[in-house]
Structure 1
Amino acid sequence: MRWNLKTKPEKEKIQALQNALQVDEITATLLLQRGITTYEEAKSFFRPTLNDLHDPFLMKDMDKAVDRIEKAIENNETIMVFGDYDVDGTTAVALVSSYLKTIYSNIATYIPDRYAEGYGVSYKGIDFAEDNAISLIIALDCGIKSIDHVNYAKEKGIDFIIGDHHRPGETLPNAVAVLDPKRKDCSYPYDELCGCGVGFKLIQAIGSKRNQSIEYFIPYLDLVATAIAADIVPMTGENRVLAKFGMEVINSTPRSGIKALIQNVKKQILTITDVVFIVAPRINAAGRIKHGDYAVRLLTEFNLEQANEFASEIEQFNADRKDLDKKITKEALQQIITNKEEENFTTVVYQEDWHKGVIGIVASRLIENHYRPTVVFTKSGDKLAASARSVKDFDVYNALEACAEHLEQFGGHMYAAGMTLKEENYENFKNAFENIVKETIPPELLTPEIAIDLEINFSDITPKLIRILKQFEPFGPQNMHPIFMSSNCQDTGYGKNLGSEDEHLKLFIKQDTEEGIGAIGFGLGKNLSLTKNKNRFQIAYSIDENEWKNTVSTQLNLRAIQENNE
């Protein structure tokens, strides 16, 4: 692992911000590293308000979208809310459909089947709309490249409103309205919303015509926060405001479906990290193992008893997902070793019976083992379908675009994408992908990096610092949990491995004469020997609080350990 200690801001800038905010050097440094240079910017960062949210009508086509929905209500048309089967898509459908039902009754929802229909707007979904006399489809978290599908619907007299956040192609679909802040001709002030975030702006716009204030929409923010956490969008600007207030809802008055998912979590206050690791995988498991409809049903259920029943079904889907994920990862790793591909610049694997619902997770697991841009293929009908994942700072979407001649379709982001291709094109794609990555990736990106904000001593870890760090939440891309480094550390002799395979590490670390601090290192079990015999070592870590039997204590969450550099 590459240890990358960030360049410290200029001393004068640190001092100026310290004086303006009356904070210590560590806090001022962390803020400057996040682009916060003034009192006003710091106030906005630490005390975001709902007034920081932008006018939804600044988004291109928002007025057209609202007018078409109002016309549908006036003419008693049935509106279908369509969304992808992942967390972002299902929360977006739950959010928009549940709001629309408060003002109008003819609302249907539709989540495509991952296996029978695949990602995005489907012909089967449009045929369903035609069969049920549905004349308006609102597509969320998908649709920005569905040009043929929208034309197909238009021939049947069905209008589309698209609410997406993925990168558009050269041509936009011929929809009534295309809401996507990444449109080149859209001047909306913030372009990093997730799909559910775009859905939220839509209901905010509809509500503003009904004199509903922003406070009216607070109960919907538990869904938005869940989507922001799961979709790994930047935790900046509007996303940070929505996530912060959404986490407050999750911790105070969550909807029944989310309450059912978190009822067994033994923590007083959940963080965005808890949403990522507890709530999101369960919602995702519905679409991966069975059908995304299960997630929408859970998230729109008001009765807690019924929600608990839905949640127990989803819990079983998640258990099945874990088993499949483990099995397929093992098979994929064996394939890499057998084919002697460890030294490639990419990892591309394929087995026709791998479960399509977990190949994205498997791709992420493979990166943990072989740190390379990764694509995992399986058979899907008469084609191959794949999920791609990338390493830090490498744009896998651009690499796929360079291989587009071998693909049937593809879409996604810098770090995650999906695609389909004909089986006879698999080897050509595999070779082209390897070559384009080899030509374009800086060699250092093939080694995992731990980005360290600051080197500190244990004496700096005070209750005041911990209180301030809490105010940096919610954490996410571009506002990651601060990572510190400390040198000259020793274990006090209580170091041990944890986990069924000794994969984790538990230490009690001291530095010079300071009192020891408890530390946990998930996945760092193999480093135990480094800490034995009073060896001195360096650690990279975040500062967390450990809650155990209603007692809260400071704990270091170890990210990496290495020998002490004298």
Structure 2
Amino acid sequence: MRWTLKPEPSKEKIAKLAFDLQVDATIAKILLQRNIESFEEAKKYFRPSLADIHDPFLMKDMDLAVARIETAILNNENILVFGDYDVDGTTAVSLVSSYLKTIHPNIATYIPDRYAEGYGVSYMGIDFAHDNDFSLIIALDCGIKAIDKVTYAKEKNIDFIICDHHKPGKEIPKAVAVLNAKRDDCNYPFDELCGCGVGFKLIQALGVSRKQTIKDFVPYLDLVATAIAADIVPMNGENRVLAYFGLQVINQKPRNGIQAIIHQIKKKELTITDVVFIIAPRINAAGRMKHGNYAVELLTEMDLDAAIEFAAAIEIFNADRKDLDKKITEEALIQIIDNEEENRFSSVVFQEDWHKGVIGIVASRLIEKYYRPTLVFTKSGDKLAASARSVKGFDVYNALLECEEFIEQFGGHKYAAGLTLAPENYENFKNKFEEVVERTIDKKLLTPEIAIDAEIELSEITPKFFRIIQQMAPFGPMNMKPTFTSTCVRDNGYGKKVGKEQTHLKLNVFQGDNKKTYNAIGFNLGDKMEFVQDDFDIAYSLDENEWNGFKSIQLLLKDLK
């Protein structure tokens, strides 16, 4: 691990903000690192308000989208709500369809089959719409590159409204409306919404003429928060407000589908991290193992008992998914070793029987072992399909652009992408991708980084300090949970390896002459036990540990040296 200290703001700025907010210098420093420089900005940050959610009509084409939907309602047209099979897509479809059903009876949903149709708007989906007399398709979390598909639909007298957040290409599809804040010609104040977030703006806009206010749309925010967490979009600006209120809905009055998942896991208060690791994988498992329709049915189910049955079925999919990704990860690691590719700049692996639904997870697992840009391929029809994942700081989307000659189609963003290519181009692609990564990657990015907000003394960790850190949630990119370092700490002699396979580290640390000890847990740091004999430095975040009803602050170790 590389430990890098974030740049230090000026002493004057720290002193002024600490005085204005009546907080200590460390808190002021962390806020300044997040571009919070005044009392007003801090108030907005610590007290998110529904008033900070932007006017949806600031988004280009929103007026056209609303007008077309109103015409469809007036003419009693059939509307098909179309979205991808991942969490962002299925939550977006659930959100938009459940709202539209409150104002129009002729609404249906469509999730493409991961295996038969692949990612994005599909010809099969358009044919389905045509065969079943749909004259309007609302595409969510996809469609920004579906130029030919939109033209094909037009020939069948089907209109498209596209709600997407992926990078547009040079040409925008000729749809009735294209809602995407990343369009060069869109002046919407926040361009990092997820697909479900764009869907939320659409229903918010539809509510305006119905005299509905933002408060009427709060019940939908459990879906938006789930998508924001799962899609790993920046947790600042409007996303932070949507996630903050969405988490409240998840914890206080979630829809039946989410309640049913929580019922399975029996956890009281969920954080955004729980949404990422507990709720999102289960919604995703439906689309990975069976069909994304399961997720939409779960998330729109009006009967709690039925939702609990759905969630139980999805729980089985999720268990199967875990077994499968473990098995495929082991096979992929063997392949890298057998091909003597441990010292390359990228990992590119392929086996034709690998399950397409888990190759993205496998790519992430391989990065845990070999920290470098990674692609996992499998057979998909007569083509090869891959999921790409990257390391912090390296744009895998741009790297794929340089390999375009060997790719049939691809889409995605900086850290994650999907692509297909012809089998005969696999070796050429693999060599070209390695060459591009080797030429363009800053070599230090091949060592995982721990970005440290501040060096502190353990004595600074008071209940008040911890309470303020907790109020900085929800955490995510651009607003990560603060990471600290403390130097020359010691263990009180009771430190030990714990866990079934002794892979974790449990310590009680103190610093200097202050003999007050702090509980510390380091997951997967068991092999660092040898450093614990003498003074050592730690990098950690703060967490709350609950044991027998008693709550205490614990250090969540990220590394020690």
- Residue equivalent to 1:346: 346
Identity %: 69
Q: What per-residue deviation string (whole Å, max 9, x for no partner) do you get for residues 47-80 of structure 1?
A: 1101101110010100000000000000000100
Q: What per-residue deviation string (whole Å, max 9, x for no partner) do you get for residues 490-522 of structure 1?
A: 222222223332222222222222311111111
Q: How far is the alpha carbon of 1:202 from its aligned partner?
A: 0.2
Q: How far is the alpha carbon of 1:105 from its aligned partner?
A: 0.9
* Partners of 1:20 and 1:39 within 8 A in 2: yes
Question: Secondary structure of the residue that 2:515 maps to in structure 1?
Answer: coil
Distance in 1, Cα, partners of 2:269 & 2:547:
13
Amino acid at match of 1:271: T
Distance in 1, Cα, partners of 2:183 & 2:146:
15
- Residue equivalent to 1:32: 32
Distance in 2, Cα, partners of 1:502 & 1:324:
24
Distance in 1, Cα, partners of 2:460 & 2:50:
34
- Residue equivalent to 2:359: 359
* Partners of 1:267 and 1:547 within 8 A in 2: no
- Pair 1:466–1:529, CA change in 2 (3 A): same
Distance in 1, Cα, partners of 2:97 & 2:462:
47
The range that moved more, 162-171 or 334-343, is 334-343
- Residue equivalent to 2:311: 311
- Residue equivalent to 2:404: 404
Q: What per-residue deviation string (whole Å, max 9, x for no partner) do you get for residues 519-564 of structure 1?
A: 1111212112221x4x2111110001012333221111111111xx
Amino acid at match of 2:420: T
Distance in 1, Cα, partners of 2:500 & 2:375:
29
- Residue equivalent to 1:524: 525
Amino acid at match of 2:556: N
Amino acid at match of 2:112: P
- Residue equivalent to 1:391: 391
* Partners of 1:82 and 1:137 within 8 A in 2: yes
1:147-296 alignment runs, 5 A limit: 147-296=147-296
Question: Secondary structure of the residue that 1:171 maps to in structure 2?
Answer: coil
Question: Secondary structure of the residue that 2:168 maps to in structure 1?
Answer: coil
The range that moved more, 36-45 or 543-552, is 543-552
Q: What per-residue deviation string (whole Å, max 9, x for no partner) do you get for residues 198-247 of structure 1?
A: 00000000001111010000000000000000000000100000000000
Amino acid at match of 2:457: N
Question: Secondary structure of the residue that 2:108 maps to in structure 1?
Answer: strand
Distance in 2, Cα, partners of 1:446 & 1:505:
25
Q: How far is the alpha carbon of 1:7 from its aligned partner?
A: 2.1
Distance in 2, Cα, partners of 1:264 & 1:406:
45
- Residue equivalent to 1:116: 116
Distance in 2, Cα, partners of 1:385 & 1:552:
47
Distance in 2, Cα, partners of 1:551 & 1:331:
43
Amino acid at match of 1:401: L
Amino acid at match of 1:558: L
Q: How far is the alpha carbon of 1:27 from its aligned partner?
A: 0.8
Q: How far is the alpha carbon of 1:23 from its aligned partner?
A: 1.2
Question: Secondary structure of the residue that 2:102 maps to in structure 1?
Answer: helix
Question: Secondary structure of the residue that 1:211 maps to in structure 2?
Answer: coil
Distance in 1, Cα, partners of 2:297 & 2:390:
32
Distance in 2, Cα, partners of 1:264 & 1:465:
34
Distance in 2, Cα, partners of 1:117 & 1:503:
41
- Residue equivalent to 1:454: 454
Q: How far is the alpha carbon of 1:263 from its aligned partner?
A: 2.0
* Partners of 2:229 and 2:476 within 8 A in 1: yes
Question: Structure 1 unaligned runs (5+)?
Answer: none
Q: How far is the alpha carbon of 1:265 from its aligned partner?
A: 4.0
* Partners of 2:66 and 2:206 within 8 A in 1: yes
Q: How far is the alpha carbon of 1:481 from its aligned partner?
A: 0.3
- Residue equivalent to 2:546: 547
Distance in 1, Cα, partners of 2:290 & 2:268:
32
Q: How far is the alpha carbon of 1:415 from its aligned partner?
A: 0.4
Q: How far is the alpha carbon of 1:281 from its aligned partner?
A: 0.5
Q: How far is the alpha carbon of 1:39 from its aligned partner?
A: 1.2
Q: How far is the alpha carbon of 1:268 from its aligned partner?
A: 3.5
Distance in 1, Cα, partners of 2:208 & 2:229:
26
* Partners of 1:397 and 1:414 within 8 A in 2: yes
* Partners of 1:458 and 1:514 within 8 A in 2: no
* Partners of 2:287 and 2:357 within 8 A in 1: yes
- Residue equivalent to 2:556: 557
Distance in 2, Cα, partners of 1:267 & 1:106:
38
- Residue equivalent to 2:483: 483
Question: Secondary structure of the residue that 1:331 maps to in structure 2?
Answer: helix
Amino acid at match of 1:556: L
Distance in 2, Cα, partners of 1:501 & 1:357:
29
The range that moved more, 511-520 or 272-281, is 511-520
Amino acid at match of 1:552: K
Distance in 2, Cα, partners of 1:309 & 1:511:
52
Q: What per-residue deviation string (whole Å, max 9, x for no partner) do you get for residues 109-152 of structure 1?
A: 00001011100001111111111101100000000001111111
Distance in 2, Cα, partners of 1:510 & 1:399:
46
Distance in 2, Cα, partners of 1:111 & 1:450:
38
The range that moved more, 387-396 or 483-492, is 483-492
* Partners of 2:264 and 2:311 within 8 A in 1: no
- Residue equivalent to 2:494: 494
Instruction: Report the number of matched residues.
Output: 560
Question: Structure 2 unaligned runs (5+)?
Answer: none
Distance in 1, Cα, partners of 2:511 & 2:90:
48
Distance in 2, Cα, partners of 1:53 & 1:422:
45
Distance in 1, Cα, partners of 2:296 & 2:76:
24
Distance in 2, Cα, partners of 1:409 & 1:235:
30
- Residue equivalent to 1:144: 144
Distance in 2, Cα, partners of 1:268 & 1:550:
13
Computed over aligned residues only, the root mean square deviation of the Cα atoms, in angstroms, reads: 0.9
Q: How far is the alpha carbon of 1:435 from its aligned partner?
A: 0.9
